[in-house]
Each structure stands twice: as structure tokens, then as C-alpha cells.
Structure 1
Amino acid sequence: MMDTIFALATAQGRAGVAVVRLSGPNAVQAAQDFMSDVPQSRGVRQVLDNDGVLLDEAFVLRFTAGASFTGEEIVELQLHGSPAVVAAVLRVLGDHPLLRPAEAGEFTRRALENGRLDLAQVEGLADLIDAETEGQRKQALRVFSGELGNRAEDWRKKLIRATALLEATIDFADEEVPYDTRPEVSELIVDVRKSMVREHDGVRIAERVRDGFEVAIVGAPNVGKSTLLNRIAGRDAAITSEIAGTTRDVIEVRFDLDGIPVTFLDTAGLRDSDDTVEMIGVARAKDRAGTADLRVYLLMPDDDIQLDILLGDIVVRAKGDQVDSSDFAISGKTGMGVDQLLEMIGTELRQRVALVGIAMRERHRIALKQGIAGLDVAIDSLADPLGMSDLIAEDLRTAIRAVDSLVGRVDVEHVLDEIFLSFCIGK
């Protein structure tokens, strides 16, 4: 029998309400020892210590096994959010012989083990808890609601159907099979592969939505990169001066751009110099700019671009308040063109976000890659008149195992501890 666990499920400190949860086979029995009775569904009850002294009046909720978050019986105490009240109640629970404190993520882990969530939903929940922008919330909620699990189940059913058709030809190899199954098998495999490739290709963008896009501001010294960063941040995040080469290291500012998380990077001015420290800064600037998702080039009329301009990069005239130009120009000092620049960046990133599927982690990408590889071998073998059905079926089983690993059916024990360590106690 599993232990019955308890934890504070809300943040530490003063609050209007503090929630303490008990989950496990002895939740109700233990709760009856520190209140007069446990309600069948909900109700206000007095919470007492071991000597019968009143600790608080709590709104108590009871969830039956199979109908709770963890799949176990749960008793939830909604206490007044005084640190003293919470500490007293937790002390009483900690002394109870039928209870023990929960470990990080243990409530969610029990939900996984009891079939209330699949592994992808657990990952979606972790991302939902960490979501800071609207884009992150929407993406995490799609996974937490089970969309990836539903997609994986659809792939699995089609691949099992294809495998069954192939194995039918093996079982009746010495008899006349009613019809040629290979066209249907091929159609099923191609359909699944197309869907898996789409999800695979969208993982990197999904990761950027979760972790944040990087936009590097690059250009020669004294073109206004730091001033632009300060204007975007709304504060003096970077030191500005008339002295060329002031910025030596990469300065980062986190920004919510219409629901998309963006980290703007202020980089050292790109130029040749005899200053060893400055050249280290220039090298770092080129490295970070090269790995950024998008680059904003600030240029004066005679500036030489020292990096390759990639698709989606934005080139603008710097110091628009000082330079007459028919090109789009901005000025971090006056704010001229900055709103338009942010809109251009937002438009480009929204176009990329539109390519996002449901898979959103490197683990998902690897599983999808393995599944696609198995399907590619199966497709090649199907095209060969001498391709053996038993070998093709084994390739499909490889793809099915990869699909199963997405939602935690197989080969995921090594990732569970890492995932649940990211959860707080009480979740």
C-alpha cells in the first residue's frame, strides 16, 4: 500500500487562503483524527491539534479515489493563510503516524502512475506552472490538456493496424490472402510519417516559445545599440556613452512581446581593434548573434556589415533623429521608429510560432526522429517487391515503441526523476 502524503500546495507567506492537501489510502482516516468528521464532499470544519485545541476553521474538500488529481483519495484543507496557522497544522500532520511529507512533484507523479496523466501532460503541467507569457500559457495548456497524447494514440492505432495487416500475410503465407494489404499499409505509414515530420519540425520553435526567443542587436560601435536596448527595456539596463567600445559583454533583457517571450541582446560593437578585451567582446558578440533567432542590424550609411544577413533578420538605419534617410530609421534616444521595429520583430516571430505543433521538448524530438527513421525503412521495404513482411512489421514496431515513449508507456524511467525535481513541493 502506498504512503499517504501531505504538503502545503500554495506559496509560503501570508495570504488570504493557504491550501494543504492529503493524498493516499489513509487520507480520510488521518483527517478524522484532527477534526470532528470529514465531510462527504465539502464543508467547514474545525481543525484541532493532538490535545483538542482549536488551530483554525477550514473549508474542507474531499475527493474520492479515481475522481481526484492523483487518482487517490484526497482531503484538501483551505486554511486561513496565516504563517502561524499553516505551521501549526503542518506540525500536527507531521506528527501523525499515518502521514509523511510529500517529495517534490510527488502528487503529480502519483497522477502519472495512476493513469490520470500521461508523461507529456506532466511536462505540459510543468511548463504551465512556469509560464510567464500568454504564448507560453497557451502552448503548455495544449500539451497539458492531452493533445500530444491524443495525437500519439492516433499514430499508434494506425501503425498497429498496418502491423496487423502485414502479420496477416505472414500467418497465411501458405494460403491465398483475400486482397493485397500493402497499398493500405503504405497509405497508413505515409500518413503517420507526414504527421510525425510536421511535429518534429515544430519542436525547435516550441522550445523557443517555452524558453524565449533571442533577438540580437548588432552593429558598429556607437550606433545606438545600448540606447535602443534601454528604450525597449524602459530602464538603464546598459551603460551608454560617447566612447566607442563601452559595451564589452553581452547584456540581456527579458521582454514580453505580445505574449511571446523575447530576450534582447545588446552586443559589443563590431570592429577591428588593438584592445584585447574589446576583441574578446566582439568575438562573443558574433557568437551570440550567430546563435540568436533573429538579428537587428543598426547601420549608419557607410557601415560595413560583418555578419551574414539571414532570412528574417531586420536591417534599419541607426540614429534616425540625426540622419536623413529614405530607408526605415530608428532612434533609441527619441523613440523614433522603435514601436514599428517591435512590431516587425513581433510579426516575424508570430510567423514562426504559427509553425509550432504540439511536441515541444528535445525528448519529443528524439522520439519522433526515431519513429520517423523506422517508418522510412518500412516505406523503402514496402516499395521493394522482395521486401519481407516480417521485417517490415518489426520496423513498424520500432516506430510504435518510439510513439509510446512520447507519452511514457516505455523507456522513460530515466527521465522521470529529472522532470519531477522541477516541481515544487505540493504539486
Structure 2
Amino acid sequence: MDTVYALSSGAPPAGIAVIRVSGPHAKAALNDLAGSLPAPRRASARRLRNRSGVTLDDALVLWLPGPGTATGEDIAELHLHGGRAVVAAVEEALSAFPGLRRAKPGEFTRRAFANGRLDLAEAEGLADLLAAETELQRRSALEMLDGKFSRQVNDWREAVLHVSAQIEAVLDFSDEDDVAVLPAEFTQRLNALSAELLEWLAKPRAERLKEGFKVVMAGPPNSGKSTLFNALLDDDAAIVSPIAGTTRDVLERSVSLAGIPFTFVDTAGLRSHSDDSIEVIGIERAHAEALAADLVLWLGDEGEGPSGAWEIDPKCDRDDRIAKHRPDLSLSAKTGEGVGLLRERLISRASNAMPQPGSIALNMRQHRLIESASDALSEIAVTEDPLLVAEQLRLARLAFDSLIGRTSTEDMLDALFGRFCIGK
């Protein structure tokens, strides 16, 4: 197997740059560069030189013999001064060693998976952690990376193996009275497992964490949508004008409030007729955004907004406005009155719709596989043939194996590990 190397820290210039080398030739490469091999797992100061004896840098080096490493292989780490020229010189020196090559995106993590240092669900958690932009995303990713979900899947798998053994006993020894009939616990175990899978399927999905809780400003032209949009973002992202129809397209911005990801959407003013073809397109898009929203803030006439929308009385600072009789909230985006309260209520609403802090959120792949397992168990309830029961249990077990990577296609692995940066 090739030995790979890559910059595992941020792009230079930086205070420190870390180059990681993993594979069977890591030991020889480190010994050559540093002049001697340091004690295992102990940071040591060394002067690095290339094969021509030219000094490259004074660095801290680490020798981490496998298999008890992040990748399960021998690893060398070079902690360098973080200038571009230093990093380039050391990478050039590494490329000159036989059997060494630059790592591909995600290759270190893929080797960790291949060597059993982490399973597929944990690798997905690591990918989500690296991409996390909010506190809620970070905490959910850590739970997945920590193996909490993998342990749950293994529990499900053990439960299926247990009932599979019972059904196999019926198939193999059906002429013996003590095993010809399934025990009552067979059905009880299956019902409990089915109920648990349905609970997991009902949980908020990981995609919600990435996309954010979607809040759409909707209403007729000049109702204050763009002003409220800017106030919630605390930024002049949308053009505000007294001219009706200023906003002609969808304007979308993502933001984190109290660690929760939100996507705020400003839309074109809704009206029944327009001679402007571009505005008509904007109105159509506004309707589509309202349908796809988690919540619509309706700034138009009371009772004319979409079902479930919050009635917003948007200009409470103006005496000439037609006030709503029963608004969910009165505010002035212009003066800021009531905007803070709106943020608090949005956070509260989103908190109930998003995965809870510290909980595990299933991605699309995981949700689909748990659904497959659940469907297989549901088929057992309407099946009397022990052979068909055994087959459905096999399908459920196969879905659980796929969740943690016991059975995985190369295309799926390529897609997952391709999400990582080169140094990971």
C-alpha cells in the first residue's frame, strides 16, 4: 500500500503547519528527514533536511506507530513553521521518497474506515463536524462521531440476530416439539424493535440542520417584508424602497440564532395582477417559497396569508396604519420595536422543529436504511411462512449492516470521503 502525505492544518501562511504522513513508509521517511526516529508518541525537536542535506526547517516531530493511530497505520507528523515556502519545501522532500504520494481528499479518513478505526456512521459524523457552522450542527455531529448511533444500530442488529436464531430453530428442528413453535417473546421483541425504529424515523432529519429553519417574509408590495428581513439579519441585505415592487426575486440568507441555523427568505410582493413579466415571475417564486417554508411571516391583510402563517403587524410605529385585530406579533422593523421578541419566538419555534441539542439526526441515507429495516419487520406481521419470516429478518439485518458500513459500495464510499479536505 502507498504511503500518503498531506497538509492537515489550515492553508498557509499560519503560525504552525502540520503535515501528516500515513502508511508503511512513514517511519523511513521520518527517520530520513529528521536524522533519527524520536520516541513513540513523544513530541521531539528536530532539524529537517532533504535527501541532499539541505535544511528545510526546525520542527517538532511525532512518531505514532500503528495500529493504535487515527488511520490504523504508522503515522508521522511534522509540526512546521507555517510559511508557504516551508510547507512547499517539505512536501517536495516527501515526494522524493519512494512509495510516497500526496493524499487524495478524505484518504486519511477512508483508511481509518478500512482499518476499522471508525465505522461508516462515525465517518459521516466526522464529515458533518468538519462542515458544522452552528452549535446545533456541531453537537449533533459529535454524537454521531462518538459512536452513539453505531452502538444503537448494533443493539438493533443483535435483537434481529436473536429472533433470527429462533426462526432458524423452527426451520431446522420443526419435528421437535420444544422448538417447533415460536416463543411469545419472538413477537414481543419484534414489536418492540418495530416501535423503536418508527420513533427514530419520526425524528427531525439531519438535512434540517444543514438547510436551517426556513422563514419566509410574505405579503403585498410595500408591506415591510424587506425591512423586516434586514432587521432579522441585522444587515442591509435587501433593497428597501417606497416604490412598490422593488423586490422582484427571492432573496435568501442563512444565519445562526442561539446556535440554531435559520434561512430567512425575502420575496416579491404578492398581488393579483402585474403588467411586468419579471415581477410576475417573482410573484410565482414567492408563492413557491411560501409553500416550502417551515414558517411564513405574513405581513399582508389579516386572514389572507397561507394556513399556519404568523400574522405580523409590521408597522406599529405608524399611527396611519390599519392595525390587525389579533396579530401574533406587533413590531416595527424600522425602529426595532418587537424585533427582539420575534427572534425569541422564532428560536423557540425552531427549537421544537429541529433535532434537540445533543441528539442524533439521521441523514437521508440512514433514514432510508432504517425505513427499509422497518418495512421488512412490518412484513413479518402479515407472514406465516417461517421461510419468508427468515428472509425479512435477513433484509432487516442487511439494512443495519449497511448503516455502519459492513456492506458498502465503492461509489457510496467515494461520494462520502470525497466530501473531506485533502488533509483529512
For 2:46, what is the secondary structure of its paired residue?
A: strand
Distance between the aligned counterparts of 2:136 and 2:95, measured in 1? 40
Residues of 1 paired with 2:24 and 2:381: CA distance?
A: 50
Q: CA deviation at 1:213?
A: 2.1
The 8 Å contact of residues 211 and 263 in structure 2, kept in 1 or not, is answered as no
Aligned match of 1:242: 242
Query: 1:267 — aligned with what?
Result: 267
* 2:421 pairs with 1:424: yes
Q: Are 1:372 and 2:374 counterparts? A: yes
Amino acid at match of 2:53: G
Q: Secondary structure at the match of 2:6?
A: strand
Offset from partner CA, 1:145-177 (integer Å, 9 cap, x none)? 111111110000000000001111111111111
Structure-1 residue corresponding to 2:59:
58
Q: Give the Cα–Cα distance (whole angstroms) in 2 for the partners of residues 334 and 252 of structure 1.
A: 23
- Is structure 2 residue 395 aligned with structure 1 residue 398? yes
The alpha-carbon deviation at position 391 of structure 1 amounts to: 1.5
What's the offset of the Cα at 1:293? 1.6
Q: 1:359 to 1:258 in 2, by over 3 A?
A: closer
Residues 189, 379 of structure 1: 8 Å contact kept: no
1:364 partner amino acid: Q
Identity among equivalent pairs (%):
42
For 1:166 and 1:304, the matched residues in 2 are separated by: 59
Q: How far has the Cα of 1:67 moved from its partner? A: 1.1
Preserved CA contact (<8 Å) 1:35 1:47: yes
CA distance in 2, matches of 1:144, 1:210: 17
Separation in 2, partners of 1:225, 1:203? 29
SS of corresponding position for 2:382: helix
User: Corresponding residue for 1:148?
Assistant: 149
**Among 354, 362, 365, which residue is 1:363 paired with?**
365
CA deviation after TM superposition for structure 1 residue 234, in Å: 1.9
Amino acid of the structure 2 residue aligned with 1:192: L
- Cα contact 1:298–1:318 (8 A) shared by 2: yes
Cα deviation for residue 390 of structure 1 reads 2.1
Q: For residues 248-303 of structure 1, what are the alpha-carbon distances to aligned partners after superposition, in whole Å with 9 as ceiling and x for unaligned?
A: 1011121111111111000111111232221111110010111122211123xx45
Given that 1:224 and 1:318 are in contact with CA atoms closer than 8 Å, whether structure 2 keeps it comes out as yes
- Distance (Å, rounded) in 2 between the aligned partners of 1:87 and 1:13: 10
Offset from partner CA, 1:283-336 (integer Å, 9 cap, x none):
10010111122211123xx456253x23xx422212111145664311111111
Q: Which amino acid aligns with 2:31?
A: Q
Partner of 2:411: 414
Contact 2:298 2:305 (8 Å CA) reproduced: no
TM-score, reference length from structure 2? 0.94
Cα displacement (A) at 1:61: 1.3
SS in 1 for 2:389: helix
1:166-185 map, 5 Å: 166-177=167-178, 180-185=181-186
In structure 2, the partner of 1:83 is 84
Q: In the alignment, what sits opposite 1:28?
A: 27
> In the alignment, what sits opposite 2:3?
4
In 1: Cα distance, 2:347 partner to 2:36 partner = 56
**C-alpha displacement of 1:180:** 4.5
Root-mean-square deviation (Å): 1.7
> Unaligned stretches of 5+ in structure 1?
382-386
5 Å matches for 1:289-304? 289-299=290-300, 302-303=301-302
Residue type of the partner of 1:3?
D
Correspondence for 2:312: 316
Superposition pairs of residues 175-214 of structure 1, within 5 angstroms: 175-177=176-178, 180-204=181-205, 206-214=206-214
Contact 1:270 1:306 in 2 (8 A): no
Kept in 2, the 8 Å contact 1:257–1:346? The answer is: yes
Q: Distance in 2 between matches of 1:147 and 1:412?
A: 23
